[in-house]
Structure 1
Amino acid sequence: MIKVFRWLLLPFSLLYQAIVWLRNRLYDKNIFKSYTATIPTLVIGNLAVGGTGKSPMTEYLVRLLKDRYTLATLSRGYGRKTKGYRTVTIDSTAAQVGDEPLQFKRKFPEITVVVSEDRVTGIKKLQDKFDLVILDDAYQHRKLKPGYSILLFDFYSLFKPLLPLPTGDFRDNLSASRRADLLVITKCPEVITEEQKAHIEHILRKYTRSPIFYTGIFYQLPLSITKQPLPDALTDYDILLFCGIANPTPLVQYLLKTGNRVELLQFSDHYNYNDTDFEKIITRYHSITSDKKIIITTEKDIQRIPVHTFETLPLYYIPIHLKTVDQQQHTFDTFIENYLKSVKEY
């Protein structure tokens, strides 16, 4: 029923597409002005709504660069209940700064993490203090002209109708991919056929000749909310998985492949949990009859869970890393390094 209803909204999708196209053209023609930072800026973004792996990409770049550059990350802080420019601390809450920036700060406490819905304001406050800024989810923020853009596409989204909102899932036109310096296909299966690559490149090569990389998700060992590892093998447990992310399918598939029995409680992306939700989760956990059971959530969700909420229950989260599927990690890194080198020489 939902899919049928979305198709009925196709006229609105065409109108939305026209408005987005016009806005981009006004920026392309310099009728709408863009601000250029005085330091290198790495912009990560996507064209579709939902999870394409922007956070793992941001974390990958932080790991790659943090020991050689004084860097900051700048995010909108989606889901926060505050406004304006704000520096994230490890004691911040997701309501104050958003779950993803809080995740960045807690994982990399040595770097500066900032949220600001106005990226230009954020950059102006940062550029005199840092060597570079990594901007998470800023591809459509055209008031800021990026130094280097990395555009992400979910692998499976490119095998579905590529339609704009509200009928489809794309918030920008595919033609916008011509602005990207690198294209990254995320959440790929372990094996990609040549036919699948040809299909993807046939779509994207209509708009850009930028390099295309294929990446997957690497799931790490579960950790408790206090970052203690799971004492036994994950395969020994029945799992209650709850999460508020755009696409939990890859995580569910991973857990099923390990041989677990998985029950899923899915919430909306960046969901703000309340006491009623926690009671529902706990009740569902107790309803599992297995003698060996566990509660699993994502690293993003754990930022929104008060430490005391599940203190008597086995709650764990699974960190994820980005991995290249086509063995081109060094080549990807070289593109980033060459951009930073060229700016420094200039």
Structure 2
Amino acid sequence: MIFLRKILFPFAVLYGCITRFRNFLFDVGILKSYSFDMPVIAVGNLSVGGTGKTPQIEYLIRLLSDKHKIATLSRGYKRQSKGFVLADTTSTAITIGDEPFQFYKKFPDIIVAVDADRKNGIEQLISLNESPDIILLDDAFQHRKVKAGFYILLTAYDDLFCDDFILPTGNLRESRSGAKRANMIIVTKCPKKISELAQDKIRRRIGVDKPLFFSVITYEDYVYSSNEAIKVSEIKNVNKLLLAGIAKPKSFFAYLQNENDVILTFSDHHHFTEEDILHIKKQAKNNIIITTEKDYVRLKGSILERQLFYLPIKTSFISGGDNFDKTILNYVGTSTRNS
């Protein structure tokens, strides 16, 4: 795979030129960006997947939803529907995508919508009878047709964008210089005890003059089914099947695993077929199955449900969390036009 990526280097150079030219056209106004008279916060990355966008969106929902009507707008990756779709009681992970469906089930007081055309999606949300006060754009850093009022760029601790290269040689969707569009950068999935020295080294390597924060993924002390909660400490040494269909499941497995567990991995956003589910059932036998929250919304309702549990995660800041909150609240409080 590494060799293949190296020989595709000329295509990476070509792709980089195309994305730079596209960004230039937006920067000089030849291609038009649209702004809106309300706070719009975009959370995204430069690389392909695995930076923790979903828990970061959930952090913002918790921060803002007490005083504001929140809407999330996602593309709805791998959904089997087209155009603008507003989540309702008939929605499933298949119709709106796993992450939006997770938002909808977890936060019943917010508006959840999907649309690959973010401009159209925002216009549809604004036209609702009960329109939102704030729109959170999920994975929209490269969606230049909309100019968000505030951009949060995520980069994973073990896969920093400054050390990466353009697709297909690397994992970057665009040049590293795209980070300059961000209002702030968050280094996600850090070790819990990352030192100040290590943080300073990362600041110098990233080299972008933007506020920089460091966050960590934290796991809850319980796993949950549709009607039960069990302490993680009680199931650590129990034989079980651990299942993940996310970009980087290593830490999820490490948190729960014992040497006798069965481990099954699938691709990110994997659509579980009937054959997959029968295979999982056979591998699990009568043991419990623990999966990620994102996978759970796709597997709930299947024949696995009686033995199926999920482990919720959250993102929290190693330091400077109060400054992050104040920055976001200040933007929301003072924003009248995203320009």
Counterpart residue number, 1:254: 255
Q: 1:262 to 1:323 in 2, by over 3 A?
A: farther
Counterpart residue number, 2:75: 76
> CA-to-partner distance for each residue in 1:239-297, whole Å, 9 max, x for gaps?
311121111112122224xx5644321111100001110111111112x9xxxx43111
Secondary structure of residue in 2 paired with 1:325: strand
> CA-to-partner distance for each residue in 1:291-337, whole Å, 9 max, x for gaps?
xx43111000111114242144x2111010111122x2111100001
Among candidates 155, 174, 177, match of residue 172 of structure 1: 174
Higher alpha-carbon deviation: 155-164 or 145-154: 155-164
TM-score by length of 2: 0.93
Q: Is this contact kept in 2: 1:46–1:139, CA < 8 A?
A: yes
Q: Which amino acid aligns with 2:294?
A: K
Counterpart residue number, 1:302: 296
Secondary structure of residue in 1 paired with 2:135: strand
Q: 1:329 to 1:160 in 2, by over 3 A?
A: closer
* Identity within the alignment, %: 40
> CA-to-partner distance for each residue in 1:126-146, whole Å, 9 max, x for gaps?
235221101110110000001
Cα distance between partner residues in 2 of 1:182 and 1:263: 40
Secondary structure of residue in 2 paired with 1:216: strand
Moved over 6 A (4+): none
Cα distance between partner residues in 1 of 2:65 and 2:305: 34
Cα distance between partner residues in 2 of 1:227 and 1:323: 27
Of structures 1 and 2, the one with the larger relative CO (CA 8 A, separation 6+) is: 2
Cα distance between partner residues in 2 of 1:183 and 1:100: 22
Counterpart residue number, 2:332: 340
Cα distance between partner residues in 2 of 1:83 and 1:307: 24
Counterpart residue number, 1:230: 230
Secondary structure of residue in 2 paired with 1:51: coil
Q: Is this contact kept in 2: 1:73–1:135, CA < 8 A?
A: yes
Counterpart residue number, 2:212: 212
Cα distance between partner residues in 2 of 1:88 and 1:148: 25
Tell me by how many angstroms 1:72 deviates: 0.7
Q: Is this contact kept in 2: 1:255–1:262, CA < 8 A?
A: no
Among candidates 282, 298, 308, match of residue 315 of structure 1: 308
Cα distance between partner residues in 2 of 1:263 and 1:307: 22
Cα distance between partner residues in 1 of 2:62 and 2:310: 20
Q: Which amino acid aligns with 1:336?
A: I
Counterpart residue number, 1:193: 195
Tell me by how many angstroms 1:344 deviates: 5.0
Number of residue pairs matched by the alignment: 334
Cα distance between partner residues in 2 of 1:68 and 1:276: 45
Gaps of 5+ in 1: none
Q: Is this contact kept in 2: 1:74–1:114, CA < 8 A?
A: yes
Root-mean-square deviation (CA, aligned residues, Å) is 2.0
